Structure 1
Amino acid sequence: MRMRRPRTLVRLVLTTGLVASLATAAAGASAADPAPETGATKSDNITHLASVPMTGPLAGSVNTDIAFAGKKAYVGNYNGFQIYDIANPAKPTLISQVHCPGSQNDVSVYAGLLFLSTDSSRSDSSCQSVPQSATIKESWEGIKIFDVRDPANPKYIAAVETHCGSHTHTLVPDKRGKSVYVYNSSYFPRDTFPDCLPPGDKIDIVKVPLKEPAKAAVVASPVLFPDGGFPGSPTGTATSGCHDITAFPSKNIAAAACMGDGVLLDISKPEAPKVIDRVQDAANFAFWHGATFNGNGTKVVFQDELGGGGGAECTPEVGPNKGATAIFDIKKRKLVFQSYYKIARHQLDTENCVAHNGSLIPVPGRDIVVQAWYQGGFSVWDFTDSKRPKEIGFFDRPAIEPESFGGYWSVYYYNGAIYGTESVKAFDVFKIKDRRTDLANLVKLKELNVQTQPALWR
């Protein structure tokens, strides 16, 4: 999502202490029955299991990304984050909420730690901070770190400032198991931002010692675009940073979606990633937004967030190749374009709709993803044949009236269920029952950060 505002960053700030959380006693904190689906359209293989409305200090804001560990789901929100018990996917229960404003608040979870991206310029690193102009050098943006081993009582333990804030981040575990690296992505530098000056051609890498996370710090800021990257076009955004990076650690590779460029990285040395290959698509891609590998790291799909997430890009006028997902085979460490995929259900010109966050459905021998399309709902599609992707399931609620932003931000598969953040409404759960995806039920993960993909098969 590309909802931008002024931003900046300064020095490393460490904050320790208990962050107040709100228990599930709040009204509407759990859902025993699905929300009404009046007017929704869906395929027969999709069942809507549950919908938990936003409550407390997070209500009225925007739900963002999702991470999973064990039987818990961690949901980001522009006002903080929330933790759900998903032991019974049909009855998710809110465990706690943390009020800690700072867009987008994308989340990842690893070894009892939760990482939160702050990409709005704040007065300081605390959860009590207020917005402050990015033109003020002392303003703060970056990565916040919480101890969530007790999900009912998360503790804020550290903060690390990064260049240009933190729009999204990606975890790359140290192979020795002693640390985790956080690849930080952000963009849109300005001459008036003292800590976020152009050209914005680098990423920040934060190293977090697992036994002493309060010592987390930026250890490298490698330049990915020494030549400046994509210069921009009438329809495409010039590269001035990366929006999102997806790692495939077992193969020491990562796919970076960097505004005007799609990039394949070698991450065998986590503090010194190197560009292996780079592709551009001036004809059809406006904004390289995110990436998803297949189960063995031989393919990757990139999403184009045409219109920044707020545009109506699923209309006949826009067509099937813009605001879509592009499929690439990885051959001899090169990205080889195969085809585009986009939902065929045209949305109204009042509905924000474009390719957005999705995840692999782990079906052995197949390449299947579930993907969000904002007010276009979500789709389940198969790209086993890279040149002929096809949809095998979908869910689409009616347009929001009166016209406003909304729809599914992230939709991910985890251990037998599909979880989605309906941006301005709820945390939703679905089930897919289909012979083409049923084998995914046999794959059980201990945790899932979608931007850190495990190898599921060779």
Structure 2
Amino acid sequence: MGTKVRGAVAAAGALVAVALCAPGSATAHPCASANAKAAANNSFLSLNNTSWVGIHRPELDHECGGEGGAVTSTLAKARAAGVTIADDPTLEQVAAEFERSSNMTPVGFSANVIPYLPNPYNSDLAFQGDYAYMGTNDGFVVIDIKDPAKPKQVHLNKSCTTSQGDVVVYGNILVRSWDSATNANGAATQSCGGTLVGLGFEGIHIFDITDPANPVMVDVGNNPADGKQGLRFSVNDVPRKGCGSHTATAVPSPANDALYIYNGGSNSNCTWMDVLKIKISDPTQAAYVKQAPAGRQCHDNTVFLNGAESRATCAGGNGITMFKFDATIDPTLPGGIENPVQLWSKQMAGLTGGGHSAAFSYDGKTVVWGHEPGGGVAPNCQTNSDIRFKSLYILNVETGDQISTVPMTRAQDSTENCTWHNFNTVPTKGGNYLVSGNYQAGINVVDFTQPAAPKIIAYADPKPLPKTTTYGGDGYPDGGDWSTYWYNGKIYEADIYRGLVVWDLDNPFTDRANTVSYSNPQTQIGAITADNVAPTATSTQTGPIVLGSTVAPAFTCADEGLGVESCTANVTSLDTSSIGPKSYTVTAVDKAGNEAVTTIAYVVNATAATGTPGGTVPATLALTLGTPASFGAFTPGVDGEYTATTDATVISTAGDAALAVADTGANAGHLVNGAFVLPQPLQGLGVVKTWSGPTSNEKVTVTFKQAVSKTDALRTGSYGKTLTFTLSTTNP
């Protein structure tokens, strides 16, 4: 979002007419009028001007696609006229134009510098999913950023013939701003979406971006005879509702099937913030709701959507107005989205105008305010420039009290237009970070985690644009970085002439930023409490540490916030080479990016010597039997099973051992009474127990069983048998 760049003045050298065509309807196709205007006014970027990096070679046959029918490409017309058009610059060529800090790396580039109008420039950005939407003064561009290193232009919409064209995206809806009332001369040619906008029109146009590669304008007028119309609220209307749309800020309320827009007219005739409403399920149902008095013109509005504690700013004129609203209640109620309540209004000391932009810290405690004295076309960042004109201001959200300022640290020369322009804050728990686009001062990244002591931690500053004979006035173009925003791990820069440049910032705190499904940079959704407390590391070493021993470091890390991400020591073994105090370091990093390096002290406090006391054990296998087993009395003529036990005490020093019982006498396995033998065998013979190592004085129970049948003939007397108990080993 921002103020228009200085208009070009007719100069020497005529621009070749490009892509002149008209559809079958009575209204000339917008491409035709746009290109005719370019030819008639000698655009400051002629098709054959290759004096500086950034000239774009049009390649798309659908440059005006999506509305009004097929057109002949600029490239084809230029070739027919014998004009040589420069190739797009490479990423390497663009990167060479920047002086940058070591933590900033250009990773991708999508060129969009096409000389259609006297002021062909790229403006603001919005993001959704894998796409970036870049506003232009004659439409908008859709860029596939799924791979940030290879951004690819998938749609170039040039169906709107004027205005800076700020964009907002939400779901299938794209909103484009139109901020200048169409005059009588322009009424015959000024159009959007293939339809004349009409005398005095200013407001917004809505496009359906269900297919990002083929946006289609939505008819808000709902009168087929009028063609596709936008939502009008013009400074010329009686009664006046608004002053058109210089900037638009999304306030989504999906529970109410509504996309609200807090609109900035950036006109002293309208000292309020416009509230618009678009039905999400049917964008043709769009309406101007009301005015929210701000006591100043609203250039940009920024929203901090945080449930019942939501906030909105109106930045413009000589200061900033803060609103509060509750996004959880009926939007039509006092204090709801449609009726924000003014919390405070602040005139910035010593400043009379130029109020421009604002952004909240994600903890909701501070707001950053910026202004563009001179409308963005003045060289306000020179060494001798007024410090107020090249500073950001950090304020308390609840009171408006000033906390600190952030001056532009790199001086620009007298030919470079410069001011803090468009910026957003990074959604990370690692602190508060702001990414800003600053015209010819390029990109700044500000750490304002400590709001009283903010500091610039990264930058990318382009070389001054060279003088050109096709630019009016002093010959030096006003250009540079219109807007720069953080989105899902990368920094995206809309360069007024070059196109979209993608940057990578090496910073542990921003590297851990939240990933979002969409981003309208002037709409911040949800509070994030910063985690600025570093993790801790402590020793868990126990016992004495012996001289010359191998000991691994023992430690643990803890974090009170999001938890520990990594916990590593700088050694794998402690230094035990000498007696005395030692130390090593542990680096702990938490999930917010906070890092702590802790020195862990330990003491080598013991020494060791080896001795060989010992003794010998003679090979021993000892077996002692207890009381002999007795079955008692057998009862003749009755079936029965009788049990008898004894015990064996075992001592063995062998590697293995086995205790077994055997009957080696006559009638083996049967009890005998003289010459009489029990028919049923004695049970319990064989291996009783085994050992796989030594045992000492272990008492083993040995159990025998004897079955007697009722038909067994039993002889009076005692039955018995001498058995052999054996303790043996295979490994003495």
After TM superposition, give the deviation of residue 286 of structure 1 in Å: 3.4
Distance 1:62 1:327 in 2: 30
1:75 aligns with 2:134: yes
Is the Cα–Cα contact under 8 Å of residues 34 and 50 in structure 1 kept in the other structure? Answer: no
What amino acid is aligned across from residue 429 of structure 1 in structure 2?
A: V
1:126 aligns with 2:182: no
Distance 1:427 1:49 in 2: 11
Equivalent pairs, count: 416
> Partner of 1:257 in structure 2?
315
> Partner of 2:356 in structure 1?
289
Secondary structure at the residue paired with 1:140? coil
After TM superposition, give the deviation of residue 125 of structure 1 in Å: 5.8
In 2 relative to 1, CA 437–177 (structure 1 residues): closer, same or farther, beyond 3 Å? Answer: same
| Structural mapping, 1:36-435, within 5 Å | 36-38=94-96, 40-54=98-112, 61-99=120-158, 100-122=160-182, 123=187, 126-128=192-194, 138-158=199-219, 159-162=230-233, 163-174=242-253, 176-189=255-268, 198=269, 200-225=270-295, 239=296, 241-250=297-306, 251-268=309-326, 269-284=336-351, 286-330=353-397, 333-402=398-467, 403-435=476-508
Distance 2:378 2:205 in 1: 30
What amino acid is aligned across from residue 301 of structure 1 in structure 2?
A: V
Distance 1:296 1:28 in 2: 47
Distance 1:74 1:34 in 2: 23
Distance 2:116 2:515 in 1: 30
Q: Which stretch of structure 1 is more off in the superposition, 256-265 or 374-383?
A: 256-265
Which TM-score applies when normalising by structure 2? 0.54
Is the Cα–Cα contact under 8 Å of residues 79 and 102 in structure 1 kept in the other structure? Answer: yes
Is the Cα–Cα contact under 8 Å of residues 32 and 91 in structure 1 kept in the other structure? Answer: no
Is the Cα–Cα contact under 8 Å of residues 113 and 121 in structure 2 kept in the other structure? Answer: no
> Partner of 1:14 in structure 2?
none
After TM superposition, give the deviation of residue 62 of structure 1 in Å: 0.8
> Partner of 1:3 in structure 2?
4
After TM superposition, give the deviation of residue 37 of structure 1 in Å: 3.2
1:451 aligns with 2:522: yes
What amino acid is aligned across from residue 326 of structure 1 in structure 2?
A: Y
What amino acid is aligned across from residue 372 of structure 2 in structure 1?
A: E
What amino acid is aligned across from residue 374 of structure 1 in structure 2?
A: Y
Distance 2:207 2:360 in 1: 28
What amino acid is aligned across from residue 297 of structure 1 in structure 2?
A: G
Distance 2:72 2:494 in 1: 20
Is the Cα–Cα contact under 8 Å of residues 319 and 353 in structure 2 kept in the other structure? Answer: no
In 2 relative to 1, CA 126–322 (structure 1 residues): closer, same or farther, beyond 3 Å? Answer: closer
Q: Which stretch of structure 1 is more off in the superposition, 121-130 or 426-435?
A: 121-130
Distance 2:211 2:480 in 1: 31
Is the Cα–Cα contact under 8 Å of residues 160 and 217 in structure 1 kept in the other structure? Answer: yes
After TM superposition, give the deviation of residue 388 of structure 1 in Å: 1.0
In 2 relative to 1, CA 35–129 (structure 1 residues): closer, same or farther, beyond 3 Å? Answer: farther
Is the Cα–Cα contact under 8 Å of residues 191 and 197 in structure 2 kept in the other structure? Answer: no
Distance 2:249 2:441 in 1: 26
After TM superposition, give the deviation of residue 188 of structure 1 in Å: 2.8
Deviations 1:294-328 (A, max 9, x none): 11211110101111110000012224332321001
Is the Cα–Cα contact under 8 Å of residues 138 and 163 in structure 2 kept in the other structure? Answer: yes
In 2 relative to 1, CA 274–23 (structure 1 residues): closer, same or farther, beyond 3 Å? Answer: farther
After TM superposition, give the deviation of residue 365 of structure 1 in Å: 3.7
Distance 2:371 2:120 in 1: 24
Deviations 1:81-117 (A, max 9, x none): 0100001101100010111222110001001100000
What amino acid is aligned across from residue 516 of structure 2 in structure 1?
A: L
Which TM-score applies when normalising by structure 1? 0.84
Deviations 1:263-295 (A, max 9, x none): 110132111122101111141463210100011
Is the Cα–Cα contact under 8 Å of residues 23 and 95 in structure 1 kept in the other structure? Answer: no
Is the Cα–Cα contact under 8 Å of residues 74 and 82 in structure 1 kept in the other structure? Answer: yes
Distance 1:365 1:167 in 2: 34
After TM superposition, give the deviation of residue 38 of structure 1 in Å: 3.3
After TM superposition, give the deviation of residue 258 of structure 1 in Å: 2.2
Distance 1:46 1:220 in 2: 44
- The higher-RCO structure (CA 8 Å, 6+ apart) is 1
Secondary structure at the residue paired with 1:105? coil
After TM superposition, give the deviation of residue 23 of structure 1 in Å: 13
Is the Cα–Cα contact under 8 Å of residues 294 and 367 in structure 1 kept in the other structure? Answer: yes
Secondary structure at the residue paired with 2:419? coil
Distance 1:297 1:23 in 2: 51
In 2 relative to 1, CA 64–299 (structure 1 residues): closer, same or farther, beyond 3 Å? Answer: same
Distance 1:398 1:70 in 2: 32
Distance 1:149 1:439 in 2: 31
Distance 1:186 1:365 in 2: 35
Unaligned runs of 5+ in 1: 6-16, 133-137, 190-197, 226-238
Deviations 1:216-267 (A, max 9, x none): 0111123222xxxxxxxxxxxxx4x210100112132112102123111013
In 2 relative to 1, CA 30–298 (structure 1 residues): closer, same or farther, beyond 3 Å? Answer: farther
Secondary structure at the residue paired with 1:366? coil
Distance 2:360 2:395 in 1: 9
What amino acid is aligned across from residue 290 of structure 1 in structure 2?
A: S
**Superposition RMSD in Å:** 2.8
For the pair shown, the structure with the greater C-alpha radius of gyration is 2
Distance 2:73 2:505 in 1: 28
Greater than 4 Å deviation, 4+ residue runs: 20-32, 55-60, 128-132
Distance 1:160 1:151 in 2: 22
Secondary structure at the residue paired with 2:375? helix
After TM superposition, give the deviation of residue 22 of structure 1 in Å: 9.5
Distance 1:34 1:112 in 2: 35
What amino acid is aligned across from residue 213 of structure 2 in structure 1?
A: A
Distance 2:255 2:506 in 1: 39
Distance 1:129 1:354 in 2: 36
Secondary structure at the residue paired with 2:387? coil
In 2 relative to 1, CA 180–23 (structure 1 residues): closer, same or farther, beyond 3 Å? Answer: farther
Is the Cα–Cα contact under 8 Å of residues 22 and 98 in structure 1 kept in the other structure? Answer: no
Secondary structure at the residue paired with 1:453? strand
